Chains A and B, each alone.
Chain A
Amino acid sequence: GDSVTQMEGPVTLSEEAFLTINCTYTATGYPSLFWYVQYPGEGLQLLLKATKADDKGSNKGFEATYRKETTSFHLEKGSVQVSDSAVYFCALSSAGGTSYGKLTFGQGTILTVHP
Chain B
Amino acid sequence: NAGVTQTPKFQVLKTGQSMTLQCAQDMNHEYMSWYRQDPGMGLRLIHYSVGAGITDQGEVPNGYNVSRSTTEDFPLRLLSAAPSQTSVYFCASSQLQGTSGYTFGSGTRLTVV
User: Which residues from chain A sit less than 8 Å from chain B, CB to CB?
Assistant: 32, 34, 36, 42-46, 49, 51, 89, 93-94, 100-103, 105-108
Q: Taking CB as reference atom, which chain A residue is nearest B4?
A: A43
B101 CB contact (under 8 Å) in A34, A42, A100, A108: A34
A49–B98 Cα gap in the complex (Å)? 11
Contacts of B75 in A (CB 8 A): none
Q: Does chain A have a CB within 8 A of B33?
A: yes
Contacts of A103 in B (CB 8 A): 33, 45, 92, 98, 102
Contacts of B98 in A (CB 8 A): 32, 93-94, 100-103
Q: How many A-B pairs fall under 8 Å by CB?
A: 61
Query: By the criterion CB–CB under 8 Å, are A42 and B102 in contact?
Result: no
Most buried by B among A32, A45, A46, A101: A101
With A32-B99, A42-B106, A43-B105 as contacts: A102 and B45 at CB distance below 8 Å: yes
